[in-house]
Amino acid sequence: MKILRNTSMVVGFFLALCILALSVPANVPAAEKVISWRMQILWDPGTLPYKVEEQFVARVKELTGGRLDIKIFPPGSLVPTNEMLDGIQAGMFEMMKQYEGYYIGKMPEVAFTASLPLGFTDAWQLETWFWEKGGVDMLRESYAPMGVYYLAPTVYGEEPLHSKFPIRSIDDLKGKKGRFVGLAGPVMAKLGASVTPLPTAEVYSALEKGVIDFADRGSLQANYDAGLYEVAKYIVFPGIHQPVTSTCYAINMAAWNKLPKDIQAILECAAREASAKLFQQEFVNGMNSLDKYREKGVEFIYLPEEEVKNARKAVMEVWEEYGNKSPKARQVLDSQKAWMRQLGLID
């Protein structure tokens, strides 16, 4: 079945990162003061990504010998999801796990780092761009003037479309109402859809009430956990709007600078380990969820390859439009395009 196209190459790459995290010493004085942080995250309780965040904070506590204790807050519990960056800047909480596509108006460069529609096709391609092609450094430069430290990305595979009606061609998108955030919004508008940028937590109710006809929300397993099969009986592949996804850990700069150097290193290692865990668990559970969706009466639809290829031409026009919005956006897009050319993804 041609779903979840990530290659096995990424598994060994990510496993090496887990070893890195394990190597950090956790022998610390028992009487040392505990640092307590709050972290608002993107995903609903009970979903797989939420569980990975629970594993992340437990890992940080373990590796720091209890010196850093991070409490998770679900979406909207401290600030609305699309205002998390503002909350971090204001010091309302110390850390966030966010999909950067929510604020491409403020930072056009993150239109490419959150997810590039019809761009990278495998998680390892984007992961290597972040850590070996300068992506993390570029983002740290972008966030620093705002008083925010970009810690690390969490990268996983494609997000399919969940629809209340069958989408069997690109033309079927025209005139329909869809939920998208990030660069997927203008891309899907370019392809003829009417776009509404709702927070992730509102997708189910919007589909149920008919506010939207189809939606991007998350991975197969996360969407199953959220019950999307109850309100959308069609799943469309490939996820042209979001073939590879990156969320990110970001931290209030003042809080980051107060941390001991070893805890800073532990946070980065644990974040990279969380990326490995989410990718691997999403991949396995996504495959396992296919039969569960079928049992719920969901139909899988595959867009014709030639239509997807033709759609790329229109999509790349949107890439360039956003690449021209700032010097940093141009730097990020040109860097990603150079890597995609090396990979043979674009001419």
Q: What CATH number is associated with residue 102?
A: 3.40.190.170
Give the total number of structural domains in the chain.
2
Q: What is the mean pLDDT of residues 157-169?
A: 93
Look up the domain containing 333 and give its range: 161-242+290-343
Residue 198 lies in a domain: yes
**Same domain flag for 112 and 34:** yes
3-state helix, strand, coil in the chain (%, to 5): 50, 15, 35
The reply to whether 223 and 248 lie within a common domain is no
Half-sphere exposure of 257 (CA within 13 A, CB side): 6
Q: What is the pLDDT of residue 321?
A: 93
Residues 87-136: tens digit of each pLDDT: 999 999 999 999 998 898 999 999 999 989 989 989 999 999 999 999 99
Contact (CB, 8 A) for 133 and 335: yes
Residues 14 and 137 in one domain: yes
- Residue 26, pLDDT above cutoff 50: no
The answer on pLDDT for 179 being more than 80 is: yes
What's the rounded mean pLDDT across residues 280-301? 93
- Do 77 and 154 lie in one domain? The reply is yes
Q: In 76-196, at which residue ranges do the beta strands (DSSP E only) sit?
A: 95-98, 148-156, 161-163, 177-179, 194-196
- CA dist 245 and 135 (Å) reads 14
Tell the residue number behind the tokens 């450094």, with chain if given.
Answer: 137
Res 29: pLDDT: 52
Q: Identify the pLDDT of residue 6.
A: 47
Q: pLDDT (tens digit, 9 = 90+) per residue, 245-289? A: 999 999 999 999 999 999 999 999 999 999 999 999 988 988 999
Does the pLDDT at position 297 exceed 60? yes
| pTM beyond 0.85, yes or no | no
Tell whether 35 and 173 lie within a shared domain: no
